[in-house]
Amino acid sequence: MIDQVVSHYSSSGGLVDLIANSLRTAGKDLNGLKTADLAAVDEFHIRGRKATLELAEQMMLNENSRVLDIGSGLGGPARTLAEVYGCHVTGLDLTQAFCDAAKAMSGWVNLAERVAFQQGDAMNLPFAADEFDAAMTIHVAMNIPAKDKVYEQARRVMKPGGVFAVYDVLQGEGGDVVFPVPWAREPGISHLATPDEMKSLLTDAGFKVLNIHDSTDESRVWFEARADRLAQSGPPPVTFQAFLGDDYPEMVRNQVRNLAERRIRTISYICEC
């Protein structure tokens, strides 16, 4: 199953070169990039940087905080936290190509000293107990059947009193998911929990759930706007299509339908150790 997940998120060529060449083609100088220049591909989750900042506002961060991002992807959320709060963020991702790209992109925007990325398994975190002041995981558990192991591991590596922010796509009441979607082309690697199951998983792992926010309606509007932009003007110079492939526009259309018909929901959980 792990190999299937890695394959789903891996492009056919070198991801760093693909992103770099796309930026140069758009007239960008890699030595003078801002995080805004990476916006179209930087944060691979619904509602992007806005959603990341909503989580961060509740994570009690400062410049001394050590934060873990489980399933860090291309590193956008980690860079956002480091840029806004001055904290240090360690990102861990199953896909080595994502880690390589995250490191390169962090260097392009002069954040390499505040973020670090390494390949690893969310179900077996390679960190010591009580190592992090806070942690987050954004749109990761949809590909993981054994979510209990992920949350138990997160609890183990966090200091007492730390905040764990979880933002995921969950199973809605409207029926089965219509595929393909950004996290899966077929049901075999899609493992969605229901909202009630997610709350139980977190509390069973030892977390106290402080706040739950359902952003499904906001997510639908966000995806509708994205689908309209793709239809009218095509993709921007750098987009998620770089590693998801030519069926990415179909994934976007399906997400609009899945959200509108409540086949999926987007919900965040703010938890305390």
**Domains in the chain, please, with CATH?**
2-272 (3.40.50.150)
Please count the CA atoms within 13 angstroms of the CA of 144 that sit on its side-chain side: 23
pLDDT of residue 4: 57
Do 260 and 147 touch, CB atoms closer than 8 A?
no
Tell me if residue 132 falls in helix, strand or coil: strand
Q: Read off the pLDDT of residues 78-101 as tens digits, 9 standing for 90 and up.
A: 999 999 999 999 999 999 999 999
**What single DSSP character describes residue 68?**
E
Please, what sign has the CA dihedral across residues 134, 70, 42, 220?
negative
Which residue stretches of the chain have pLDDT < 50? 1-2, 6, 8, 12
Note if the pTM is more than 0.85.
Answer: yes
